[in-house]
Amino acid sequence: MLSLLLGSFLAYLIGSIPTAYIVGRLVKKIDIRDFGSGNVGATNVFRVVGKKWGIFVMVIDMMKGIAAVLIISQFFSSHFIESKQVAQLLYGVCAIMGHNWTVFLNFKGGKGVATTAGVIMSVFPLSFCCSFCVFVVVVFFTKYISLGSLIGTGIFPLFLWLFYREVEGYNIFLMFSIVLVVFIVVRHRSNIKRLLCCTETKIRFKK
């Protein structure tokens, strides 16, 4: 039990690393929360600091989820959870919670899209690839990253059912997937309001 608690705490701390905030401070000497959407995430860095730094933050935030799943689960196994995938998901959720409610910024963090992507890519690669394709298509045609994130994550349980319904522990996997969807929706409440009012900011693609 102690190993499980310690692993969950470390996964949370990894997720809590405020990558966007750090990049804003180091690159432009600004508090990213005072600019753009005010969100501590890759999309806001993309708009405020620059494209390459936005991509950098996105990759690092994904790595936080991957590290929680693949590294923490290796060193902090528990007899209370026999399924390796369930343990990985638990640590992954802890990392997402750290990103969304980081202890380093008074428990106000990002929206968890990249970290969630890192988690599901590590545990359910086939379902992730399909969800990511949906995300890309939605963003390409609508220019709304938030809408792509909502739809791409929202359809993930369907792809989970398509590829993993015969795998032992599927019901637990489905429960975790629903939790991840709820996290994304809750963190995108302001985006949903702007989407409904047609005031959400679109992303611009350049050659």
The domain tally of the chain equals: 1
Residue 205 lies inside a defined structural domain of this protein: no
Quote the pLDDT of residue 3: 83
Residue range 147-168, pLDDT digits in tens: 999 999 999 999 999 999 998 8
pLDDT in tens, 85-144: 888 999 999 999 999 999 999 999 999 999 999 999 999 999 999 999 999 999 999 999
Q: What are the φ and ψ backbone dihedral angles of 102, each rounded to 5 degrees?
A: -75, 135
Q: Span 65-75, mean pLDDT?
A: 92
Q: Which domain holds residue 145?
A: 2-196
- 207 is a domain residue: no
Residue 190 is predicted with a pLDDT of 93
In a domain, 134, yes or no: yes
For residue 203, tell me if it sits in a domain: no
Question: Would you list the DSSP string of the chain?
Answer: -HHHHHHHHHHHHHHH--HHHHHHHHHHSS-GGGSTT--SSHHHHHHHT-HHHHHHHHHHHHHHHHHIIIIIHHH---TT---HHHHHHHHHHHHHHHHHT-GGGTT-----HHHHHHHHHHH-HHHHHHHHHHHHHHHHHH--HHHHHHHHHHTHHHHHHHHHTTSTTHHHHHHHHHHHHHHHHHHTHHHHHHHHTT-PPPP----
pLDDT at 206 over 80: no
- The two tokens of residue 44 are 């806001």
pLDDT of residue 146: 94
Residue 33 has pLDDT above 90, yes or no: yes
pTM: 0.92
Residue 206 lies in a domain: no
Residue 201 lies in a domain: no
**What integer pLDDT is reported at residue 203 of this predicted model?**
82
Residue 189 belongs to some domain of the structure: yes
Res 205 pLDDT > 70: no
Quick one: pLDDT at residue 118?
A: 96
Give a yes or no: residue 202 inside a domain: no
